[in-house]
Amino acid sequence: MIPHSLRPSYRTMWQIQEPTADPKTAAIPDLTGTWSSDGKDWICSASGGARGITLGDADSSFQLSVANVGSDTLPVSGEQYVSGDSWKIDYPQVTGQYRLRLSIRVVHASATRIVWEPTFSIQTSLLDTDPSLELTAIGRFDETANANLPADLPDDVSVSAIRAGDGNGQLLVLLGPQDAPFTKHRSSGKRLDLRVFGEFLEKGVIRKARPWVILDRTDAGVSSEDLSRYCNELCNTPLPLTA
């Protein structure tokens, strides 16, 4: 039986706001998806391009940002749709190095915590490229950031944690056996920085990365017991066939 704290919430689904130009200013808003739970809105901005991709809440002061490594920006979002508890977005390769597909599944959500499962799939039509994505968050590293990491954390699982700058919250990125050995850890100072992919990508080959992202908005953060269960569930959850 899945513990209550790990059960997904199906009381709501993704609510998608598609970008439509403001006729007065011609400004185009972000493509955003909102998952509401017990009165709390958890928000993913998924426009891509120079705006990147973010996972956070309505406050937006503490969030995970996804961007391309290097001078190029991410591909820009194209077609998107919702399937069950997953939001799927396509970022076609137009002028950049690769095509990106993103599937964001909500594993668990409450008024104080959300667990996202973003699955990134990249593919290229070029003969010579090595694209990489960076996952970053700005906060502070201190003794409380990693205080609740399980002592029995498996060797093939990686957990990166950072506290919000004001202390009100904790953000964690969990990497399973298929991703942890191939992820570069570039965190320093007040910046959590993880790099996924980055190896030579052969034309037509699809590569995937599937971290779990936990945003907790309590002072205590995620307990070692909950974190241990999340790690075990991640390791026992098959990689999605489609992103």
Domains of the chain by start residue, with CATH:
14-19+29-235 (2.70.98)
Tell me the Cα Rg of the chain: 17
Which of helix, strand or coil describes residue 232?
A: helix
Q: What is the pLDDT of residue 128?
A: 77
This prediction's pTM: 0.89
DSSP 186-220: --BTTEEEEEEE-S---TT--EEE--EEEEE-SSS
Query: How do residues 202-241 score in pLDDT, each as one tens digit?
Result: 888 899 999 999 999 998 889 989 999 999 999 999 988 7
Q: Is the distance from CB of 215 to CB of 42 less than 8 angstroms? A: yes
Which of helix, strand or coil describes residue 116?
A: strand
Cα angle 86-159-48, degrees, rounded to a multiple of 5 = 45
Query: How do residues 164-202 score in pLDDT, each as one tens digit?
Result: 988 889 999 999 999 999 999 999 889 999 999 977 778
What is the pLDDT of the chain when averaged over all its residues? 87
